[in-house]
Amino acid sequence: MNKKFKSAINKQIAVIGLGRFGTEMTRTLFENGCEVMAIDIAEERTTAVADFSTHTVVADASDEATLKRLDIASFDAVVIAIGGNMQASIVCALVCKELNAKNIMAKAQDNKHAKILQKIGVNQIVIPEADSAIRMATTIINPSVFDILELEEGYDVAKIEVLPSWINKSIKELEIRKKYSINVLTVIRQDNTFVNAIADTVLMENDKIIIGGLTDDIRKFIYKS
Ligand code: ATP
């Protein structure tokens, strides 16, 4: 299916595998102005995304000739959202890499799957179930943590409640970086305004703060505070 589409963002993305993850990926990219080619081996899956994709293709995305024909290297990014069929996901990633596809992102089923994708050279890998479980577990263990995210491998960012002992003190005075090896990046005031965190910024009651640092340091800080 072809549709004339005026793209605001002007990015062309291929989404391979239209389960829940691939479908939401397609919808979000399309609604935000990307041109999306949505590919699945099952026709009913492609039909389901026809209203919010630029092109749909019914094809086996682990087949080299197919990906070559679709000119996969011409896309700004390729999202491989095949989860359950690990073999198809791995072969697809390998072929994309061999065809010089740019910016390959993939959903993995588990750590082993993620490791293989990483070895192939996939640029960004998520394990959605594990990632959300870890985030939720962290907020259960420490309710003053609102969210935590591994931004880069080995580097975490977290949104937390200001510690009671930090209220009415400046970042410099608290020596946060020196004591905990973490950085306060932004302060969110009670009225939802954002304040750049500088040495003289004074933390106030009901503030939320965004902190960043090495994963080990952030986890140590979060689980101990
Ligand atoms: P989700 O959690 O996102 O619903 P899932 O992990 O259950 O997905 P699968 O159902 O295995 O993932 O795969 C998602 C989609 O990928 C399915 O619609 C399936 O038809 C499609 N798919 C599987 N193998 C291939 C392939 N070789 N080529 C293209 N699409 C494929």
The predicted structure's pLDDT at residue 4: 43
pLDDT in tens, the chain (225 residues): 344 444 556 899 999 999 999 999 999 999 999 999 999 999 999 999 999 999 999 999 999 999 999 999 999 999 999 988 999 999 999 999 999 999 999 999 999 999 999 999 999 999 999 988 988 888 888 888 999 988 887 999 999 999 999 999 999 999 999 999 999 999 999 999 999 999 999 999 999 999 999 999 999 998 776
The predicted structure's pLDDT at residue 9: 66
163 DSSP 8-state letter = P
Residue intervals of the chain classified under CATH 3.40.50.720 are 2-141
The Cα 40–Cα 18 span in angstroms is: 6
Residue intervals of the chain classified under CATH 3.30.70.1450 are 145-224
* Tokens standing for residue 9: 């963002």
The Cα 166–Cα 202 span in angstroms is: 9
Ligand 1 atom, smallest distance to 23 CA: 3
The predicted structure's pLDDT at residue 3: 47
Pocket test for ligand 1, best of 15, 41, 44 (most atoms within 8 A of CB): 41
For the domain 145-224, what is the CATH code?
A: 3.30.70.1450
Write b or e for each residue in 203-217: b if 16 or more Cβ atoms lie within 10 A of its Cβ, otherwise e: beeebbbbbbbeeeb
| Chosen CATH of 2-141 out of 3.90.45.10, 3.40.50.720, 3.40.190.10, 3.40.50.170 | 3.40.50.720
The predicted structure's pLDDT at residue 8: 55
Nearest CA to ligand 1 atom 6: 83
The Cα 157–Cα 140 span in angstroms is: 17
The Cα 225–Cα 222 span in angstroms is: 5
Write b or e for each residue in 18-48: b if 16 or more Cβ atoms lie within 10 A of its Cβ, otherwise e: bbebbbebbbebbeeebbbbbbbbeeebbeb
Say how many Å lie between the CA of residue 86 and the centre of ligand 1: 9
Say how many Å lie between the CA of residue 10 and the centre of ligand 1: 27
Identify the residues whose C-beta falls under 6 Å from ligand 1. Answer: 16-22, 39-42, 45, 60-62, 81-85, 88
Reported residue count of the chain is 225
Q: What is the pTM of this model?
A: 0.80
72 DSSP 8-state letter = G
Nearest CA to ligand 1 atom 8: 19
Q: Which residues neighbour 197 within 8 Å (Cβ) at sequence distance 6 or greater?
A: 171, 183, 184, 185, 186, 187, 209
The predicted structure's pLDDT at residue 151: 84
Say how many Å lie between the CA of residue 83 and the centre of ligand 1: 6
The Cα 213–Cα 32 span in angstroms is: 31
Q: Which residues neighbour 192 within 8 Å (Cβ) at sequence distance 6 or greater?
A: none
